[in-house]
Structure 1
Amino acid sequence: MKEDEVTKSGIVLPDTAEKEKPEKAEVVAVGPGKLLKNGERSEMPVQPGQKVLFTKYGPTEIKIDDEELLIAGLDDVLAVVEE
């Protein structure tokens, strides 16, 4: 069994931390954008059809008509992937 790693600042990184990598998925729909203080909406940085990397534990899993989907906020999206 591998020991946990400790950073110089004292943060303990468990053995599982280095094995967990971002997940990849295709965007099927997006919301209207974040509501700004001035009442307008921000432009969405991702669009349907794009592939994105996202944090493993951020999105919420749902099932619609026997199809498993993820709902993720923009804070969960790490990058847009061009293939």
Structure 2
Amino acid sequence: MKIRPVEDHLAVKLSTTENEKTVGGIIIPDTAKEKPQIAEVIAVGNDEDLQKIIKVGDKVLFGKYAGTEIEFEGEKLLILAKSDLLAIVE
């Protein structure tokens, strides 16, 4: 199964990290960490202007509270609108 965003939306793959352990041995769960603001694009909507700018495989920077986080086929994805994008990371 594939995911296909519509209009000016895109799907990005969030990096999943394991629970981190501090020097003192305290485990920091994912819920206590800040979510990453750079992710890899896995699907682009059908908006022509967006397709000219963003391609699958690009890394993008987005706002801290932007998008809708979903789990699709065991992967954490974020659905972003074109207006949520801040920059392309090269």
Task: State the TM-score, normalizing by the size of structure 1.
Answer: 0.59
Larger Rg: 1
Q: How many residues align?
A: 55
Higher relative contact order (CA 8 A, sep 6+): 2
Structure 2-normalised TM-score?
Answer: 0.55
Structure number having the greater strand percentage: 2
Are 2:81 and 1:73 aligned? Answer: yes
Task: Give 1:62 deviation, angstroms.
Answer: 0.5
Alignment counterpart, residue 43 of structure 2, candidates 29, 33, 37:
29
- 1:42 matched to 2:52: no
Q: Structure 1: which 5+ residue stretches go unaligned?
A: 1-19, 34-40
Percentage identity across paired residues of the two chains: 49
Q: CA deviation at 1:70?
A: 0.3
Secondary structure in structure 2 of the residue aligned to 1:72: strand
Higher helix share: 2
Instruction: Confirm or deny: 8 A CA contact 2:50 2:82 kept in the other structure.
Output: no
Gaps of 5+ in 2: 1-33
